[in-house]
Amino acid sequence: MLKVKICGITNLEDALLAIELGADALGFIFAPSPRRVEVEKAKEIISHLPPFVISVGVFVDEEITKVQEISHFCQLDAVQFHGDESPEYCRAFSGKVIKAFRISCKEDLKKTEKYEVSAFLLDSPQRGKPFDWTLLRDFSPTKPVILAGGLNADNIELALEVFRPYAVDVSSGVEAYPGKKDKTKLMNFMEVIHKWRKKAISELLAEDSFQKP
């Protein structure tokens, strides 16, 4: 079943709204960004999350010890690396690790083969804009894929028709401004997601019915 991560969370109101609408994971950015959240604030928000919602810390070329310190302090469920982190760097972490890759050509997809992580996040080389999803048509990943990069309510269905990922990650596409989510945009995005989930369930039921003698 398709999972959803809402990234760039900076306040409890947005976090609770995302969860109410059906988000499975929330992303907290600790790297330089207009969506950056202070460590103490992130810890406070995470302390209010229900048990089945995943908290993900986003880092960019940070020192390993600093990532470990923040992860422990905030009680993060997973860490996401969005810079030039090496396979060796990622192996330094024992928990759930997501490695992000910016995709501009098929050669970029081959970089994933070097990483033994929990999931790959495929992002756009241009912030807030989609990449060419048709590059994924013949992609056979070794780990679950999280699709990101310029996703919003208007284009998410098309993206899912081209490639069916394990999860999708959205940030700017559901914002009023950097660091603050727009309720209507978030509701519209999740409405498409729920329709897609229902479609997937219907397909599974139809397949199961077809296979029965």
Does residue 74 have an active-site annotation?
no
Return the closest-CA partner of residue 120 out of 148, 143, 89, 88.
143
Does residue 105 have an active-site annotation?
no
Q: Which of 84, 123, 154, 169 is catalytic?
A: 123
CB-based contacts of 29, cutoff 8 Å, min separation 6:
7, 8, 35, 36, 37, 58
CB 85 within 8 A of CB 61: yes
CA 174 to CA 6: how far, in whole Å?
9
Q: Which of 7, 74, 90, 169 is catalytic?
A: 7
CA 56 to CA 119: how far, in whole Å?
12
**Backbone dihedral angles phi then psi of residue 101, each to the nearest 5 degrees:** -135, 135
Which residues are marked as active site?
7, 123
